[in-house]
Amino acid sequence: MVDVFGESMDRIKAAWRIGRLLPALLMIAVLAPGAAWADREWNFPPPVTPIAHEIFELHAIIFWICVVIFFVVFGAMGYSIYAHRKSKGHVAEQFHENTTVEIIWTVIPFIILVLMAWPATKTVLAMKDASAADLTVKITGSQWKWNYDYLNDGFGYYSELSTPFAQIENREPKNEHYLLEVDRPLVVPVNKKIRLLITSSDVIHAWYLPSAGVQQDAIPGFVRDDWMKFDKTGTYRGQCNKICGKEHGFMPIVVEVKSDEDYAAWVGDQKKKLAPTADDVNKALDIKDLTARGEKVYTANCAACHQPNGKGLPPAFPPLDGSKVATGPKLVHISTVLNGVTHDGKPTAMVAWKATLSDVDIASVITYERNSWGNHTGEAIQPAEVASAKAR
């Protein structure tokens, strides 16, 4: 009996010591996130864009509101359980159909929701405001790489994983940016608003760059937009965060932010590298050769927006199958492709291809568009006609 009593006392003393430590443990749990918040590294990578800052602040506000609710609710429960326990002779109070209590527990949650909804709505609206952009980049997800098209400058390229397979297969040590490195990053200027048009050529992907506060699904047949504006230069990394197939984990995102001068120099280099090769514009080509070449040009440059079947993505990217442009006067079609505007001079979402494609490529893709799907004009557009229209 004595041993049992002594053992019970030891357990009571241990429980008492733990109970005395609980306030300190709770204080550490509350203050530790605050210390991390001071370094801007609390649950998120350090924010480097205005939207990322707003998302971070919103997360912090909602978290502390939840902390206050937690301590108020569970504090009241704990106090009630301890101070009004049955062993002290307390009898449960009856609140059935108490109008005052029902009004209180309706109004207080409503106020809390308003306090949470106001900053949340403000942030969501800011996230969706992609207007007045300085630069527009179309991002197309494919299994398993990204295609970046600079619509303002008329060039584009693919960005693929560059981690050596020897590291993936554990034949070499993994480096610092294992599975987060690419052969060609997306390059953008600092302090400029970049509009992102995001779509997919096959399955659902998601372009996710946490430090920029950007996460947008890339859905086949849809073009969704987002935006970002970086506060400082640097290299920032993300990944596709949709399970898009067996190599989903090998589809990283790398964004390199440059100063205005370095970005302008980079754009100049890209245009030189991607400049079209010279062709004989005075040589008349057979319609079959033009169509075959045009199909390749269309697939590489036009299919992401106008779709391989020519049905487009209205209203941003109208269909070419049966369109008045693709079946109408040749000069209107040529002018539209060359200048990226409608026949009456109104701007479109399409780039001016005269800065990127050769006269032969433009003649080929127009011939292909006028003789594919439901379009059967039987007309061949010659490079000389494109050169003549360009000179006007």
pLDDT band at 13 (very low <50, low <70, confident <90, very high): low
pLDDT at 9 over 70: no
pLDDT tens column, 60-116: 889 898 999 999 999 999 998 888 888 888 877 776 777 888 888 899 999 989 988
Quick one: pLDDT at residue 255? Answer: 96
DSSP element (H, E) containing 197: strand 194-200
Mind giving me the DSSP string for 212-251?
GTEEEEE-BT--EEEEE--SS-EEEEEEE-S--STTGGG-
The predicted pLDDT at position 391 comes to 80
Characterize the bridge pairing of strands 194-200 and 224-228: antiparallel
Q: What is the mean pLDDT of residues 16-20?
A: 49
Domains of the chain are 2-128 (1.10.287.90), 135-273 (2.60.40.420), 287-391 (1.10.760.10)
Q: Which residue has the tokens 């200027």?
A: 189
Q: What's the mean pLDDT in 182-199?
A: 94
The alpha carbon of 318 is separated from its chain's Cα centroid by a whole number of angstroms, namely: 24
Tokens of 291: 């169509």
* CA dihedral of 101, 106, 107, 109, whole degrees rounded to 10: 120
Share of the chain above pLDDT 90, in %: 38
pLDDT at 130 over 50: yes
When mean pLDDT is compared across 23-32, 39-48, 159-168, 311-320, the lowest value belongs to: 23-32
Write the DSSP symbol of residue 94.
Answer: P
> Cα–Cα distance between 109 and 126 in angstroms, integer?
26
Closest CA to 293 of 205, 229, 240, 371: 371
Give the burial string for 148-183 (b: 16+ CB within 10 Å, else e): bbbbebbbbbebbbebeeeeeeeeeeeeeeebbbbe
- pLDDT of 381 reads 92
If you write DSSP's letter for every residue of 129-191 in order, what string do you get?
---S-SEEEEEEEETTEEEEEETTTTEEEEE-B-S-HHHHTTSS---TTTT--BSS-EEEETT
CA distance 56 to 346: 40
The tokens describing 99, both together, are 């109008």
Q: What is the mean pLDDT of residues 53-58?
A: 90
Percentage with pLDDT > 70 across the chain: 86
Strand partners, 188: 257
CA distances, 366 to each of 247, 255, 347, 350, 376 (Å): 36, 34, 19, 14, 12
pLDDT at 277: 53
Residue from 254, 16, 275 nearest 146 by CA: 254
- Side-chain-side CA neighbours of 231 within 13 Å: the count stands at 11
Q: What is the DSSP string of 8-26?
A: HHHHHHHHHHHHHHHHHHH
Region 213-237 average pLDDT: 92
Here the tokens at position 115 are 């306090």
- Contacts of residue 80, Cβ cutoff 8 Å, sequence gap at least 6: none
Over residues 233-285, the pLDDT tens digits come to 999 999 999 998 888 889 999 999 999 999 999 998 888 776 555 567 888 88
Do 274 and 155 contact (CB within 8 A), yes or no? yes
Closest CA relative to residue 157, chosen from 133, 178, 137: 137
Q: How do residues 312-354 score in pLDDT, each as one tens digit? A: 888 777 899 999 998 999 999 998 998 887 766 677 777 778 8
Q: Rounded distance, CA 354 to CA 337, Å?
A: 8
Is the model more confident about 391 or about 179? 179
Residue 84 amino acid letter: H
pTM for the full model? 0.59
Q: Are strands 224-228 and 205-209 parallel, antiparallel or unpaired?
A: unpaired
Stretch (H or E) spanning 261: helix 260-273
* Mean pLDDT value of segment 189-202: 92
Any idea how long the chain is? 392
The set of residues, in sequence order, having a beta carbon less than 8 Å from that of 50 and lying 6+ positions away, is 126, 229, 231
Mean pLDDT of the chain: 83
